Each structure stands twice: as structure tokens, then as C-alpha cells.
Amino acid sequence: RRHPVVLFGDGGAAKSYLGLYLAGRLAERGLRVALFDWELAGEDHRDRLERLFWDGMPQILYARCERPLVYETDRLRRIVREHDIDYLIYDSVAFACDGPPESAEVAGGYFRAVRQIGGGSLNIAHVSKADNADQKPFGSAFWHNGARATWYAQLANSDPNSETLSLGLFNRKANLGRLRP
């Protein structure tokens, strides 16, 4: 809860949905949660949140981000302080980068910004198209190394008529304990 975690998977693996679901569950437990978003609009997340929590929407602060995280750091840190935020969701890493994700310097700058903003975080990332893409997030090895835990997400069903999603979550790194099943 106090450290950066990376959730990675292919496009369409419901990573953003899962991040929003986890944000809602944390908010229900009394944590103050924020979603910092480079991908969708706030209305899209609100619609998803209503579908996930139809019986009562949890409070999640939303902030749209347009620039790389290293340039948004002061604004986001101010939001975290003003709203006393405990946990943050960053969606998504590639769009928050200030350069190529393959660069160690870019990964290092990203994690420095995350630490400056404060709080624990879920950082949503993508996979590469290379072999063993399900082992580490796309880009520099420092995306995997900089996180305290990494999880690979894979969509298990793709029936467009289904109202449920089945996901496989695979713990690839755990610095603060054993790998989780």
C-alpha cells in the first residue's frame, strides 16, 4: 500500500478497469484514492465506475494529465496534499513518459516523480511484443526493477456478449514477501 506496484499486460487486458476496481475497493476501506490519467476522459471512468459499483459509487479523485509525469509532478503533489490522498493510480506509464520507455533514464525519472508525489501507487503499463513479454513491463528493465511488485494481467475471456470479465493475474515480482499465487 505504501510502494509503487506495476500492473502490466497487453492492450485490451482490462488493466484500466482493474485499476479502477481496486481504487474503488480501497476507497470503500477508507483510503483516499486518486486516479491520474493520461488515456481516457473522466466521464469514461465515471461510466465504468458506475458499472463496477452500481450499488453506490466510492469517492475517487480524478485528474486528467496531458504532459509527462516529470512535468506534472508539482501539480499532482499539490493535489495529493490538498486532498490528503493515500493511494494513486497512474494510467498509463507509456503516456506519462518524457521519452522512450526503453530508456533507463526515463524509467528512473518516472519513479523519482512518483516518490516526490508520495503515497502508494498502482502504475499501469503495457507489454512488449517480444518473447516472454508476460514476464516484465514494456521498456527498460528498470520498470520492473523500480517497482516493489509487478503483476501481469491477461484477459481470460473475450466474449463480447458477456457481462463479466475473467482475468488472470500473475505476480512476477515481490520485494516485500513471497510471490503471490
Whole-number pLDDT of residue 85: 98
Question: For residue 41, what pLDDT band results from cuts at 50, 70 and 90?
Answer: confident
Q: Above 90 in pLDDT, residue 4?
A: yes
Please give the backbone phi and psi of residue 33, each rounded to the nearest 5 degrees, phi first.
-120, 145
Question: For residue 158, what pLDDT band results from cuts at 50, 70 and 90?
Answer: low
Q: Above 90 in pLDDT, residue 45?
A: no
Whole-number pLDDT of residue 129: 80
Q: In sequence order, what are the residues at sequence separation of 6 or more whose Cβ sits closer than 8 angstroms to the Cβ of residue 132? A: none
**181, exposed or middle or buried, with CB in 10 Å at 0-12, 13-18, 19+?**
exposed
- Residues 106-129 pLDDT 10s: 999 999 999 999 999 999 999 988
Q: How far is 181 from 170, CA to CA, in rounded Å?
A: 7
Reading the block at residue 84, the C-alpha cell is 490528503
Whole-number pLDDT of residue 71: 98
Q: Above 80 in pLDDT, residue 159?
A: no
Q: How far is 42 from 121, CA to CA, in rounded Å?
A: 19
pTM of the full predicted structure? 0.94
Q: Above 70 in pLDDT, residue 37?
A: yes
Which of 10-24, 96-110, 126-140 is least confident? Answer: 126-140
Which of 66-70, 89-93, 127-131 is least confident? Answer: 127-131
Q: How far is 70 from 6, CA to CA, in rounded Å?
A: 18
Whole-number pLDDT of residue 46: 87
Average pLDDT over residues 30-35: 97
- CA atoms within 13 Å, Cβ hemisphere of 126: 16
Q: Above 90 in pLDDT, residue 24?
A: yes
